[in-house]
Amino acid sequence: MLSLHHSEVYSTFVLKLAILPMLLMIFWLK
């Protein structure tokens, strides 16, 4: 259970890191 929860938090953390640069690029282009 702990390992599953840890992997879930890690995946959401990676998603945020992937989304942030994309948002910055969109605002930069605008």
Q: pLDDT tens, 14-26? A: 999 999 999 999 9
CA dihedral sign, ordered 11, 14, 20, 21 = negative
CA separation for the pair 1, 18 (Å, rounded): 26
The predicted pLDDT at position 3 comes to 64
In the block, tokens 């998603």 appear at 15
**Cα separation, 12 vs 16, whole angstroms:** 6
The pLDDT > 90 percentage for the chain reads 50
Amino acid at 19: I
What domain range includes position 11? 1-30
pLDDT at position 24: 94
Number of domains composing the chain:
1
Q: Find tokens 């605002």 and name the residue.
A: 27
Tokens 């990676």 sit on residue: 14
